[in-house]
Amino acid sequence: PGGVGQGAAAQEPVGSASQPPGLTTFQVSISGELESATNLGGGPLLARVYFQHGPDWEPTAGATQGITQLSSPALPIFRTASIWMPSPSEVVWNFPLGVVYKSTNVFGWPRVVVAVFGTDMCNRHIVKGYGTVHVPCRPGRHERVVRLFCPVASSWWIRFMGWLLGNPASFIDPRTLASPDGREVVRVSSGGEVKVVFNVVMKDTKEFNFSF
């Protein structure tokens, strides 16, 4: 009887080790802020932010898209300074970002798509620029500068009519920037930058043999 009891006691830890609590996903927590935009001219600006990801990624918390407030550059200290000095070009939003993903594969790593809009002389919203950047794949705090670009119409007449009607060339869905399909046939002009701050935290990546 004593031997049987010892055998049962010896088998218990073996059975528990053969069936550990398995992990099916790892997690990536992304926070930060859409800080500011520069070199986009005067006037109030707002931005739309989208998180895009691959088919194996699933958001579990937070928001994958958002829209900032309408913000204007700071005024010069002296009114007469605007006569010979250019107007300040930095527009500050400090718009918070936050989303948590779970996935089983690094393919389709999340990226951020930014679309900046301004106003024309008739107070109509017009696009100022688009940009996209991958979320950093290392834990910690990161700063990224997203260079913006705008699509250009195929002829000067269409560009003139777009300016006159307040409807210049633009993307129907800005999230298409995260896809490489059709990008080679789009004419664009560059201009402006957006600063984005990321705080990245990862969990259970080593169990999937991913080292960052």
pLDDT < 70: residue spans in the chain: 1-22, 42, 75-88, 158, 166, 182-184
What's the pLDDT tens digit per position in 14-39?
333 333 356 788 999 999 999 999 88
Please give the share of the chain, as a percent, with pLDDT higher than 90.
39
d(CA 101, CA 200): 11
What type of residue sits at position 193? E
What's the pLDDT tens digit per position in 116-134?
998 877 777 788 889 999 9
**Residue 37: strand pairing partners:** 91, 194
For 22, 116, 126, 149, 160, the CA distances from 154, given in Å and listed in that order, are: 55, 22, 18, 16, 11
